[in-house]
């Protein structure tokens, strides 16, 4: 057990706590038993003596030290204050590992800290809690632009592994995305059952609809005789196409940017005459700035598919909208609206279904957090790499980054299907 010096100091710790005026100290004192008050008073007195003339470090020290650590420190204070003087001199912040290293043996802790910092400097960051704590101290001292982060946020920053800096929020989106893919599978299978005898074609629009909905369930679709193809119509070009600035382009017969393989899909449609399901997702499955109020919003790319199949066979398809939540008015992107029941039956007796499975609330779905994952991988983000904390590209290889998340969502889908 750590010892304290016996002296004639006041046994009322609040006398010294008032000098700090920090709510954390007051809160912890409320949970310390009376018989430990003289120890707490001794500890706070020494904090006052050592840190009294360094208000900036004192605030950081009390802000960052955890409640369990300060409680332990007040109930069983070390006999010497040298550890605290050394931490203050070198600007070391009292994160858990560093704090108790210095309390146990401040000279050895200082030596260890120097060695580990050199390792990090030369590309030896290993992701351990100690290395994160050392980088946190460095960041708070020398990188003022990042001082808004607390220690917990800092420790949860992504680590560059195999050339990929994977954000925890992206990892957290895998399971909700997989659940939506399974929900999509169930919807497709019900439609296939209702329309037996009519071929069914599922088109996954790249990237989101293809990578995170259709590809993870492709095996189950094909096992049930459902045809699968992957195409790409750009939401951005489709949105631009729908604006007033594109009127000249419309007269010239321009169409949104499409995948070169689309001709093959159209040949398939003309030959087999299937029902068609277009699958894609968007980060904004709802919009609130429409005159009709809250509206279901489908990706603008789906307008490109709608025009494509209307051009192929005008009025031929009954149009079905399917989403996690449907309003009476639905939007393609931000510019074209339809009543969701505007044409339930077409002249040809076939269905053209627009399926956007992403949920509208955080706890009800993914909110398409994996949308534009390749773009995410190209941007620089803060996290940990070989040289510790800094800015790193999301991925050295965007294709590998996309493949990683595709595989993770598929793995989660397979796990859900086994339940």
**DSSP characters for 161-227?**
ETTEE--HHHHHTHHHHHHHHHHHHHHHHHHHHHTTTS-EEEEEETTHHIIIIIHHHHHHHHHTT-E
Q: Within this chain, do residues 182 and 293 fall inside the same structural domain, yes or no?
A: yes
296 strand-pairing partners: 286, 330
Q: Are residues 205 and 164 in the same domain?
A: no
> Can you say whether the dihedral through the CA atoms of 382, 386, 388, 390 is positive or negative?
negative
User: Cβ(417)–Cβ(217) under 8 Å?
Assistant: no
Q: How many domains does the chain have?
A: 2
Q: Which pLDDT value is given to residue 1?
A: 38
Q: How far apart are CA 57 and CA 305, in angstroms?
A: 61
Q: Specify if 405 maps to a domain.
A: no
Strands 286-290 and 293-298 come out as: antiparallel
Query: What pLDDT score was predicted for residue 249?
Result: 39
- Least confidently predicted of 74-88, 208-222, 277-291, 311-325: 277-291
pLDDT mean across residues, the chain = 85
For 276, phi then psi, to 5°, come to -125, 135
Query: In this predicted model, which residue has the larger pLDDT, 176 or 35?
Result: 176
pTM score of the predicted model: 0.76
CATH number at residue 348: 3.40.50
What are the two backbone dihedrals, phi and then psi, of residue 124, each rounded to the nearest 5 degrees?
-110, 25
Evaluate if residue 416 carries a pLDDT over 50: yes
Full domain range(s) for residue 352 = 174-364
What percent of the chain has a predicted confidence (pLDDT) above 70? 88
Nearest to 157 by CA among 178, 176, 134, 136: 136
With respect to residue 382, please indicate whether it lies within any of the assigned structural domains.
no
Report d(CA 254, CA 246) in Å as an integer. 9
The total number of residues shown for the chain amounts to: 419
Q: Cα(38)–Cα(75) distance, rounded to whole angstroms?
A: 9
Statement to judge: residues 125 and 185 lie in one domain: no
Angle at CA of residue 103, ends 99 and 108, nearest 5°: 95
Give the start-end residues of each E strand in 102-199: 160-161, 164-165
Any domain includes 57 = yes
Please tell me the predicted confidence (pLDDT) of residue 238: 53
In a domain, 395, yes or no: no
Instruction: Examine the fold and report which residue of 103, 135, 168 is the final residue of a domain before the chain moves on.
Output: 168
Instruction: Indicate if 181 and 95 belong to the same structural domain.
Output: no
3 state SS of 369: coil
Determine the pLDDT at residue 163: 86
Residue pLDDT, tens place only, 226-268: 999 999 887 765 554 444 334 443 444 445 445 556 778 889 9
Using alpha carbons, list the distances in angstroms from residue 145 to 93, 131, 140, 142, 188. Answer: 18, 20, 9, 9, 49
Considering the domain architecture, whether residues 192 and 339 belong to the same structural domain is answered as yes
Residues 145, 179 share a domain: no
């Amino acid at each position: 057990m750590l010892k304290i010096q016996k002296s004639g100091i006041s046994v009322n710790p609040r006398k010294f706590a008032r000098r700090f005026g920090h709510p954390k100290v007051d809160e912890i004192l409320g949970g310390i038993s009376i018989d430990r008050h003289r120890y707490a008073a001794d500890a706070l007195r020494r904090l006052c003596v050592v840190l009294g003339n360094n208000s900036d470090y004192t605030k950081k020290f009390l802000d960052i030290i955890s409640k369990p650590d300060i409680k332990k420190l007040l109930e069983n204070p070390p006999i010497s204050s040298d550890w605290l003087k050394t931490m203050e001199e070198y600007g070391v912040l009292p994160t858990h590992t560093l704090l108790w290293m210095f309390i146990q043996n401040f000279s050895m802790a200082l030596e260890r800290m120097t060695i580990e910092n050199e390792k990090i400097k030369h590309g030896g960051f290993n992701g351990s809690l100690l290395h994160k704590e050392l980088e946190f101290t460095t960041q708070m001292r020398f990188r003022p632009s990042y001082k808004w982060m607390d220690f917990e946020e800092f420790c949860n920053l992504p680590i560059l592994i195999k050339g990929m800096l994977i954000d925890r929020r992206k990892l957290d989106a895998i399971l909700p995305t997989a659940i939506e893919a399974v929900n999509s599978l169930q919807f497709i299978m019900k439609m296939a059952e209702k329309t037996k005898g009519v071929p069914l074609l599922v088109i996954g629009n790249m990237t989101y609809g293809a990578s995170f909905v259709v590809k993870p369930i492709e095996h189950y679709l094909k096992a049930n005789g459902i045809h699968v193809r992957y195409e790409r119509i750009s939401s951005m070009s489709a949105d631009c196409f729908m604006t007033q600035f594109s009127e000249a382009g419309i007269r010239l017969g321009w169409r949104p940017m499409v995948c070169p393989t689309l001709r093959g899909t159209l040949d398939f449609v003309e030959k087999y005459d299937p029902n068609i399901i277009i699958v894609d997702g968007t980060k904004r499955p709802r919009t609130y700035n429409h005159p009709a109020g809250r509206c279901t919003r489908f990706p603008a790319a789906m307008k490109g598919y709608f025009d494509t199949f209307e051009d192929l066979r005008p009025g031929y398809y009954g149009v079905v909208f399917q989403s996690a939540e449907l309003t009476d008015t639905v939007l393609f992107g931000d510019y074209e609206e339809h009543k969701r029941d505007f044409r339930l039956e077409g002249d040809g007796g076939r269905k053209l279904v627009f399926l956007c499975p992403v949920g509208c609330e955080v706890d009800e779905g993914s909110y398409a957090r994996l949308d534009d994952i390749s773009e995410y991988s190209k941007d620089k983000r803060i996290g940990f790499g070989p040289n510790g904390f800094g800015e790193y590209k999301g991925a050295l290889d965007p294709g590998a980054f996309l493949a990683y998340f595709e595989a993770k969502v598929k793995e989660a889908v397979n796990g859900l299907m086994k339940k």
